[in-house]
A and B are shown apart, each in its own frame.
Chain A
Amino acid sequence: MTLNYMVKYDARDGSVDVAAGAIASAPRRRMVERLVHGPASMSELAEHLEITLPGVDKHLRVLLDAGIVAKSKRGRSTVVTLNPGSLHELATWAMSTRLMWAGMLDRYAATVADRPSEDLEDQEPR
């Protein structure tokens, strides 16, 4: 709930939404993490993620649409590169102090709610 509110509240335009949606997937984040180290071919990505080529293609399309990666032909193979700075706005938003406190206080409220008063008092040191 907080997140939905935050997105509407803080994002100046759609770019944060698009970037956030694109990396809201573990395989796509691993793909981005791999590309941080340099360009990769489709088959290298498939190997790295341990998924099929069609699987790579599916995820790649989302990252392409979001402008996070670019595809180019090098000879007969396709090379995928990261677009520098494409995640900058998302990172800026995510690292905001407001979001940090939102996350911390949500956990705080949930933790205090989960533990009846007695439990808080009697809790064994860990």
Chain B
Amino acid sequence: MSTITMTRTVPTRPERAYDAWTDAELLATWWWPHLPDTTYQVDARVGGSFRIESGAASFGVQGEFLVVEPPTLLRFTWVWLTEGQPAAVDGTPVVDTVEVTFADHGEATEVTEVTVRHTSTEDLVAGGAQQGWNDCLDRLERLR
């Protein structure tokens, strides 16, 4: 079991920081904007599902919302899709869990601290996510 935790501070109120995760239109502005064919289906209710997929890149992610507490907490399962197929190891599906918390940043109401906690039975440091590749190359290019 491995967990990755990452935090970003965003200059907006928790409600809007939260909406950017649950509203498909807003999600599309930042999730995979470099993969324009990506489709976004998000039903942010407990038991509701989401599916984000790029046919061009042949990958995606799907999951089910476990906890939906606007505007402070989202918890959902996370299953990688490769060419539409859910990730599996030796025939057993790999179901990760992702928790996103939105916290008021002290007195400043227009600032929200967003924390992503991704937990997997697989080794998250060694691999699993395909997505980083393009980002990585794009960023490297810009550094030069």
Contacts and interface: CB of A to CB of B under 8 A. Distances in A.
A93 B114 CA distance: 24
Interface stretch (A19-27, A45-53, A71-79): A19-27
Given A97-B124, A107-B30, A109-B9, A120 B20 contact: yes
A105 B8 contact: yes
A104 B20 contact: no
A108 B140 CA distance: 19
Contacts of A23: 137, 140
Interface residues of B, number: 42
Contacts of B127: 92, 95-97
A99 B25 contact: no
Interface of B: 4, 6, 8-13, 16-17, 19-20, 25-26, 28-31, 33, 110, 114, 116, 118, 120, 124-133, 135-137, 139-141, 143-144
Interface of A: 3, 10, 20-21, 23-26, 29, 91-113, 115, 117, 120-121, 123, 125-126
